[in-house]
Structure 1
Amino acid sequence: MENLLAFQLLDISYDIVNNTPIITIWGRDSNNKKVLLIDKSFRPYFYVLLDDKVNIDSVKEDIQKLSKTRSPIVGIEEVNMNYIGRPAKVLKITTVIPESVREYRETIANIDGVKEVLEADIRFSFRYTLDKNLYPMRWYKVKVKAIDNKFNYRVDEIYEIDSDILEDETRINVDPLENLKIMAFDIEVYNPQRTPDPSKDPIILIAIKFNYSKDPIILEAKGHDDSQLLHDFIELIRKEDPDIIVGYNQNRFDWPYIIERSKVYKIKLDIGRKADSAPNPSVFGHYSIHGRLNVDLYDFAEELQEIKFKSLDEVADYLGVMPKDKRVNIDWWLIAQYWDNMDKRSTLKQYAIDDVESTLGLAYKFLPFGAQLSIISGLPMDQVVAASVAFRLEARLMREAKKKNELMPNRIERNIETYIGAVVLKPEPGIHENVAVLDFASMYPSIMVKYNIGPDTLLKDGENCKIRNRAPEVNHEFCFDRPAFMKMVLERFLKWRSETKKAMKLYKEGSPEYNLLNERQKAIKVLANASYGYLGWGAARWYCRDCAEAITAWGRDLISNTINFAKSIGLKVYYGDTDSVFVDNDEDKINKLINWITNELEFDIKVDKVYKRIFFTEAKKRYAGLLDNGKIDIVGFEAVRGDWSDLAKEVQSNIAELILKTGDPKKAIEYIKSIIESLKKGEIPLDKLIIWKTLTKEINEYEAETPHAYAAKLMEKMGYKITPGSKVGFVIIKGPGSISKKARPYFMIKESDIDTNYYIDKQIIPSALRILSYFGITEKDLKVGTKQPSLFDFLGDSR
């Protein structure tokens, strides 16, 4: 019996049944039942781009001769399409088995008259969403027929699709996460050799927390036997049937470890909504689970630039999910000791509970944004968080290309081609008060729209065009007779974001409706702002180095014109960087500048922030400023770099705050002296002295022995698994020899081993002098302290 079904699309995959591909759409209906929709009618296809003067019938015959029995070529069709904005002679080739597309791509490419084989690198299930214009996390309506569950899918209902799938416009602003079952989990493993080995070291605890349950669940091994724990884990997932499974770094650690432990016992890790389906590595490095979204929250944390060391406890503390001083903290290399000591085992369990509570708390922070990214990009949520922003944007571009009958270029790896970037002015050194920062709204996307920039409008030699836009300096020309593909996409993004922000004003800030729209506008902004970088990305389908170079040239021209006009009306300019200018906070002159930019240059600019006090060094991209709310912005100093200890960063940040708030370097000198004294007395916690560096290659490939490479070698001798990408935390200890030879993994030493002179001379004082040297303060002043100048001795004309 046919009926109309409203459903939310969560994920999509496909199966091969009786040599026929079947699209499987995983979702839930309006009653929150788990549903599976099946489409047996869709077939894989790709395109063949032909030479202009080729005999099409001859090429068709040659293609048909290549047909294989297992997956025959069932269609060869001439189609009218554009390629890079130009009309193209194209054949559409349809076959049966998706995997056979790769084989046909290679053989057909060698036929005379074939320029290129296109769109043969698109995954079959993703191709379906492109053709049907489907976006995960959105709601749809479709006519369906209920069918029997012959294949043991773990869902409430199975339907066969019997009409076009249409978006359910009544649910556009419904929270996509509402009533979805979310499961957070975190494993603890036995590690007597510190670095655990999944072939022999068991999982001792799995902490689990569901979003609909108050109490966490702890699964524990029987001594050192985790076989029953694994069975219990599988049974719990199948029983509770979560829609989304979240963890923190589970794609890199938890799932690979669980999979290896399951292999030890020959246990089927059958936790998907498709019977006999285990987590499998998939695109973008994530693990895919049939019918469930496996979302690694670490991928969100990777994009938090303000956090250096992205451990679960650090990120949870930073985002206010769980303060570090309110939870159990155990050094990871001591876990085996805690497990073997019955008096400490309860502490270890609480540590695991705090981990999973933090994980679920981070899910509440991150998933709303992830859902909107999925809704806008078209990638399922487990993929969209693992994918780079360029892949997210490209997924959307592919949909727009399909709508516009535009052939999609193949993705190929290219050598990086450099070009001149954004303008960054040399700052006005010194301390300045009441400085406004004017920021261009989406400057690069706006340039792309205004000048119609794209690979399809970039003029080739000999091409005619009535209206041309010539980029300054680089002289690349873009045709204005037809809209660029990228322009049309960006106009849609910019309009969509504007409408979303306008709609936000209808709701109270912090309300569910406001929050949903806010996450949506942020997701749109992320994709729109990626457009310029995408064109210069070597792996982009729509790669265009000349386009990227032209955009930055127009950007430099825009900033230069802005600065020149500001000076012409007597507005003091202190600094300019990419899409921002720092000027005197003179309201009348700023309004005059904004009006001129809006009306004459036709760009949007606004006051982004106002610093009560700011100071610049002579270097570009290095300043610190005090905002009205008391917040300190620090840019370009060690405080935002990852190769200094937390103590050095903390010192520098506190110095900036002291100077900007008190106006007295004397306070900073006194502060430095107190830190030095505390360090000498052993009062500084060890974790503030750790220096974190990432290995960029194999240890034996380091020609010069750096401190972190030396520490890594010591860790390797102790049994730790060290590979490129591993973060190495080390400290410098007392004793003779070079700094490298004095580096030790931080967990190997006692606080009394610390070389305090190294931290004073090479960490504290250098980081402090990056700021204080501007005021004439020297290393001697910090160690002895005789010079006590006033801040206002250095203000000069800027007061």
Structure 2
Amino acid sequence: MAQAVYQGFILSRQQIHLNNRLHLCYWLKSSEGLLKVITQPQQAVLFIRTEDTARAQQRLSAHLKGVEFRPLALKHFDQSPVTGLYCRTLSDYYQCKEQLSDYITLYEADIRHADRYLMERFIRGGAWVTGQVEKKAGFTEIQHARLKPAPQFVPELSMLSLDIECSGEGVLFSVGLVCQAQRRVIMIGEPQASDVDVRWVNDELSLLQALVEELNRLDPDVIIGWNVIEFDCAVLNERAEALGVTLSVGRDGSPMQVSKGNFTRVLIPGRVVLDGIDTMKNATYHFETFKLSYVAQQVLGKSKLLTQDDRLEEIIRLFHHDKPALASYNLQDCVLVWDIFIKLSLLEFAIARTQLTGLELERMGGSVAAFTNLYLPLLHRSGYIAPNLGEHGLTFDSPGGYVMDSRPGLYQNVLVLDFKSLYPSIIRTFHIDPMGLIEGLSAPEEAIPGFNKGAFSRVHHHLPELVAQLAQARQEAKDRGDKMLQQAIKIIMNSLYGVLGSRGCRFYDPRLSSSITLRGHEIMQTTRSWIEDMGFEVIYGDTDSTFVCVPESLSSDQCQQLGERLMKEINQRWAQHINSQFSLPSYLEIEFETHYSPFFMPTIRGQETGSKKRYVGQIQTEQGTELVFKGLETVRSDWTEIAKAYQQAVIRALFDKEDVVAVTEQYIALINSGEVDDKLIYKKRLGKPLNAYVKNIPPHVRAAKEAHSTGVNRALGKGSQVAYYISQTGPKLVQGALSNPDYSHYIEKQILPIYQMLPEVDLDAITLHGQRTLDLSGDL
């Protein structure tokens, strides 16, 4: 067989056995087509302390002969020497773990070799491949392959949106498929006229067989969907098993594999299955609910063809009585997912994330795994293995970000100064690092002091360099206008502190996380002191932001100049301070972020103390003025639309020096008139099944329970969003027009609490138009 070199992007990874040896199989998309890459024989590895070697050998002697014990130039964080256990087969590896896990301490035993192989070679998505080449039908197979990183390779991946419709028991009705070339539904039933392209089949067996044919014909690199892994693929796999069908949709005809544990994992050799919900969450999108109907409306301004909560009953009805309508609904769901992926560049985001972290494209969450991927190979090259969870025995919690007591009031000019990526900058400046902590503690007289007895090496560390590389890559992405890469880097950089402070991370140590947060407290407090020494009042501070009140008499241009002067002065002071105190360069960078004019910081409701994380300010944009709300009712999903509309209106009146009493009375009159009933609806999700609510039943649960007991809606369960209103007789589920709403409730709980928040208000000034006496002491 010929030798050749290819460049490609990894789509799937497997651990396989050939000739009773472990091999790794990677499928890559290259410019020349598909590559099936099979490595040379591998050995799966885990680590033990060298002092446990004799006990491990004795334990395994009766069970395994194929395990090689190899002393290594590696050590544990406590400086104990380490031995590697190398296994020729996965069977040996799993037996080794089973025999030893309760007998001695194992290290890095949870890392799949298919992941470790790439990780140790710094392969993150793109790879150069060389080996013995053989052309096959539809792909190129490379045996005895060797891989190395190709970080610049950007793939062009084809996408297909998939969605199934089925009964409540998972019996299939239809499957929708949408890609660049075709939009089609495979539907069980006799052929009928339809507005969409339908391939009619006789039964479930025929539907699954047709699905295999269509997927292989359309041949996508990436299959997308909404909850496509946990639901669509899982149901398809269950029905295929029940009917004895093999879903041979791998690029070489191999079957789809579905495994369930803490989460469902789908493997289709040569393809990626990418879930829309998980990808959006990874990209830090936030929605009131991640139901497709809601997200599509918010992102695209489009709706599903069926939106009611009991749509399963409607789907079943359509299957039996109007299959063309069901086909249209099925196809529309596929189109909505496709359009969301295209508009938000979600596939491009997933590719950028993989190129940065080495994680699989479809990996859910993964902040801890991403950190491990980036850090572990560097740690090994410095002579250490990773510790196990909590081996240091420290249990104290690290404090959160610094939040200053606010000085409530209405201000004309407020400047906001933000530290750019404060926690990553602290990591980089003060050399916060897991290995650096161990090295620093071993030579504290030369180390950089941290907090809670932490000390960090000035020389031996990796995380500061990783932060520097990410910061440079982010700037380069910004210069190129690559927004997806910028976002992916920002998420990873901001996750570094969270990972070190997470008990689910093997590198968790409260001395690490507290040396970041407490240094942040110190920086914020010192910055405040410097600004006040310059003669300005600091009215609030939150994690990395400092709010500075400056004279009312200053114009917008003067405020801009002052903000830039403060920014320059503070950065210079930090550079001088860190150099003189620690003999270190400073990577702290404060930026003049925003000029609010006016700005309002409310008190805590019913108190004179200033609130935290709640304010509103006006900014100037190219389109005019804009109100920016933080933490107030207008940005909270558990308040009604009337409360949000009123707050916008009354704050606008406050800032424009208009009559806030008149605005308040106008909204009270609107509520009492019945003209805004559609804005009196609360929405809240059920956190558990209805029958699990026994004590302290909140209003949305009361409404759902009543609707269930009366048969109005029996589809509400855990995870359902309940739309309800308060009637004269209590909470009711929304079913069309509101019946007998309790307008006094909305005035008491949604209008007047916002009015009371305003400065120098007089409750007696409000005319309530014949309303009963209001009780303003209760909670919402």
TM range (shorter): 0.7 to 0.9
Matches within 5 A, 1:588-599: 588-599=565-576
User: Residue in 2 aligned with 1:68?
Assistant: 64
For 1:168, which of 145, 150, 158 is the aligned residue? 150
User: Residue in 2 aligned with 1:535?
Assistant: 500
Structure 1 Cα separation of the partners of residues 154 and 441 of structure 2: 52
For 1:157, which of 134, 140, 143 is the aligned residue? 140
Q: Does the 8 A contact of 2:130 with 2:142 survive in 1? A: no
Q: Which amino acid aligns with 1:318?
A: Q
Paired positions, count: 721
Matches within 5 A, 1:264-283: 264-273=242-251, 275-281=253-259
User: Residue in 2 aligned with 1:796?
Assistant: none
Deviation at 1:446, TM superposition (A): 1.6
Deviation at 1:157, TM superposition (A): 1.9
The reply on whether 1:47 has 2:50 as its aligned counterpart is no
Deviation at 1:548, TM superposition (A): 1.1
Deviation at 1:217, TM superposition (A): 1.9
The reply on whether 1:769 has 2:755 as its aligned counterpart is yes
Please give the per-residue CA displacement for 1:601-621, whole angstroms capped at 9, x wherever unaligned. Answer: 532111122223221112111
The reply on whether 1:97 has 2:89 as its aligned counterpart is yes
User: Residue in 2 aligned with 1:510?
Assistant: none
Matches within 5 A, 1:411-430: 411=389, 417-430=396-409
Please give the per-residue CA displacement for 1:374-433, whole angstroms capped at 9, x wherever unaligned. Answer: 1111111111xx124333333322343344443122357999743322221122212223
Q: Which amino acid aligns with 2:142?
A: Y
Q: Does the 8 A contact of 2:686 with 2:701 survive in 1? A: no
Q: Which amino acid aligns with 1:131?
A: E
Matches within 5 A, 1:166-565: 166-168=148-150, 172=152, 175-176=154-155, 178=156, 180-190=157-167, 196-198=168-170, 202-210=171-179, 212-213=180-181, 216-222=183-189, 226-273=204-251, 275-281=253-259, 285-290=263-268, 291-302=270-281, 304=284, 306-319=286-299, 322-324=300-302, 328=305, 330-334=307-311, 336-337=313-314, 340=317, 348-364=326-342, 365=344, 366-383=346-363, 386-411=364-389, 417-458=396-437, 463-471=442-450, 474-498=451-475, 500-501=476-477, 504-505=478-479, 507=480, 514-515=481-482, 518-565=483-530
Greater CA drift, 427-436 or 542-551: 427-436
Q: Does the 8 A contact of 2:665 with 2:768 survive in 1? A: no
Please give the per-residue CA displacement for 1:417-454, whole angstroms capped at 9, x wherever unaligned. Answer: 43322221122212223322111111112212222223
User: Residue in 1 aligned with 2:617?
Assistant: 625
Structure 1 Cα separation of the partners of residues 210 and 173 of structure 2: 13
Q: Does the 8 A contact of 1:35 with 1:155 survive in 2? A: no
Q: Does the 8 A contact of 1:692 with 1:729 survive in 2? A: yes
The reply on whether 1:29 has 2:25 as its aligned counterpart is no
Structure 2 Cα separation of the partners of residues 632 and 99 of structure 1: 62
Q: Does the 8 A contact of 2:669 with 2:769 survive in 1? A: no
Please give the per-residue CA displacement for 1:337-379, whole angstroms capped at 9, x wherever unaligned. Answer: 4764699765554444433222112212122111111111111
Q: Does the 8 A contact of 1:185 with 1:246 survive in 2? A: yes
Please give the per-residue CA displacement for 1:201-255, whole angstroms capped at 9, x wherever unaligned. Answer: x444433211x23x52223332896554333323211211111011112233333
Structure 2 Cα separation of the partners of residues 590 and 492 of structure 1: 25
Q: Does the 8 A contact of 2:435 with 2:460 survive in 1? A: no
Structure 1 Cα separation of the partners of residues 327 and 657 of structure 2: 46
User: Residue in 2 aligned with 1:608?
Assistant: 593
Deviation at 1:460, TM superposition (A): 9.8
Q: Which amino acid aligns with 1:477?
A: G
Deviation at 1:124, TM superposition (A): 2.4
Structure 2 Cα separation of the partners of residues 266 and 780 of structure 1: 76
Q: Does the 8 A contact of 1:437 with 1:580 survive in 2? A: yes
Structure 2 Cα separation of the partners of residues 119 and 106 of structure 1: 14
Q: Which amino acid aligns with 1:62?
A: Q
User: Residue in 2 aligned with 1:568?
Assistant: 533
Deviation at 1:576, TM superposition (A): 0.4
Q: Which amino acid aligns with 1:552?
A: T
User: Residue in 2 aligned with 1:38?
Assistant: 38
Structure 1 Cα separation of the partners of residues 595 and 262 of structure 2: 40
Query: Which runs of no fewer than 5 residues in structure 1 stay unpaired?
Result: 191-195, 508-513, 787-799
Residues 399 and 782 of structure 1, relative CA distance in 2, 3 Å threshold:
farther
Deviation at 1:155, TM superposition (A): 4.6
User: Residue in 2 aligned with 1:693?
Assistant: 685
Structure 2 Cα separation of the partners of residues 704 and 184 of structure 1: 43
Greater CA drift, 445-454 or 701-710: 701-710
Q: Does the 8 A contact of 2:439 with 2:456 survive in 1? A: no
Q: Which amino acid aligns with 2:599?
A: I
Structure 1 Cα separation of the partners of residues 209 and 740 of structure 2: 47
User: Is the partner of 1:239 in helix, strand or coil?
Assistant: helix
The reply on whether 1:107 has 2:125 as its aligned counterpart is no
For 1:145, which of 118, 132, 143 is the aligned residue? 132
Deviation at 1:540, TM superposition (A): 0.5
User: Is the partner of 1:731 in helix, strand or coil?
Assistant: strand
Deviation at 1:6, TM superposition (A): 2.3
Residues 589 and 535 of structure 1, relative CA distance in 2, 3 Å threshold:
closer
User: Is the partner of 2:435 in helix, strand or coil?
Assistant: coil
Q: Percent identity among equivalent residues?
A: 18
Deviation at 1:284, TM superposition (A): 6.8
Q: Which amino acid aligns with 2:73?
A: N
Structure 2 Cα separation of the partners of residues 25 and 456 of structure 1: 32
Deviation at 1:541, TM superposition (A): 0.8
Deviation at 1:647, TM superposition (A): 4.5
Greater CA drift, 272-281 or 354-363: 272-281
User: Is the partner of 1:117 in helix, strand or coil?
Assistant: coil
Greater CA drift, 629-638 or 694-703: 694-703
User: Is the partner of 1:11 in helix, strand or coil?
Assistant: strand
Structure 2 Cα separation of the partners of residues 41 and 782 of structure 1: 83
Deviation at 1:685, TM superposition (A): 3.4
Structure 1 Cα separation of the partners of residues 22 and 432 of structure 2: 40
Structure 2 Cα separation of the partners of residues 715 and 229 of structure 1: 37
- TM-score w.r.t. length of structure 2: 0.83
For 2:109, which of 113, 120, 124 is the aligned residue? 120
Structure 1 Cα separation of the partners of residues 678 and 254 of structure 2: 50
User: Is the partner of 2:28 in helix, strand or coil?
Assistant: strand
Structure 1 Cα separation of the partners of residues 443 and 592 of structure 2: 42
Please give the per-residue CA displacement for 1:312-336, whole angstroms capped at 9, x wherever unaligned. Answer: 23323333xx2147x7453252464
Deviation at 1:733, TM superposition (A): 5.3
Structure 2 Cα separation of the partners of residues 353 and 109 of structure 1: 50
Structure 1 Cα separation of the partners of residues 727 and 502 of structure 2: 46
Structure 2 Cα separation of the partners of residues 438 and 668 of structure 1: 33
Structure 2 Cα separation of the partners of residues 608 and 707 of structure 1: 41
Greater CA drift, 10-19 or 452-461: 452-461
User: Is the partner of 1:287 in helix, strand or coil?
Assistant: strand
Structure 2 Cα separation of the partners of residues 633 and 669 of structure 1: 21
User: Is the partner of 1:529 in helix, strand or coil?
Assistant: helix
Q: Which amino acid aligns with 1:379?
A: L
Q: Does the 8 A contact of 1:431 with 1:616 survive in 2? A: yes
Q: Does the 8 A contact of 1:301 with 1:315 survive in 2? A: no
- TM-score w.r.t. length of structure 1: 0.81
User: Is the partner of 2:597 in helix, strand or coil?
Assistant: strand
